Amino acid sequence: MVIGGFETRMWHLASEYLNFTIEWSAQSDRRFGIELENKSWSGMIGRLIDNQIDIAVGGFIITKKRYDMVDFFHPYGQEKFTFAYPPIPDTGSNIDLLIQPFHCDVYIAILF
């Protein structure tokens, strides 16, 4: 596993400027961390909570549960996600959408 990218370069520069050393440790399961059934945490969040590491570097999604367990730096970037789905078939006019949920007998009963 290769450790690299923007975040590691940033920490390397900070370590040179502030005169501290870094011992990099790759997360073997490549997990950021989720809360397990026994209320412990997996991944890098779990290692932070268990004091196995001092800081975790990566593209974390800050969730409420994670935020409640560890401290995060202020985000330096944001991603925008979306969903893709197949085209929706044309169902006819909008009035058809109003009529379709019920059988015509229901509408006749309402009118008379």
Q: Is residue 95 part of a domain?
A: no
Q: Is residue 80 part of a domain?
A: no
End-to-end CA distance of the chain: 73
Please give the pLDDT value at position 81.
78
Q: Is residue 63 part of a domain?
A: yes
pLDDT band with cut points at 50, 70 and 90 for residue 97: low
Is the pLDDT reported for residue 92 higher than 70? no
Q: What is the mean pLDDT of residues 87-96?
A: 69
Better-scored residue on pLDDT, 107 or 56: 56
Give the domain extent around 33: 6-69
Please give the pLDDT value at position 50.
93
Is the pLDDT reported for residue 93 higher than 70? no
Q: Is residue 34 part of a domain?
A: yes
Is the pLDDT reported for residue 1 higher than 60? no
8 A C-beta contact, residue 29 and residue 44? no
In the chain, the number of structural domains is 1
pTM exceeds 0.75 for this model:
no
Q: Is residue 89 part of a domain?
A: no
Please give the pLDDT value at position 70.
94
DSSP assignment letter at 54: S
Is the pLDDT reported for residue 14 higher than 90? yes
Q: What is the CATH number of the domain that holds 44?
A: 3.40.190.10
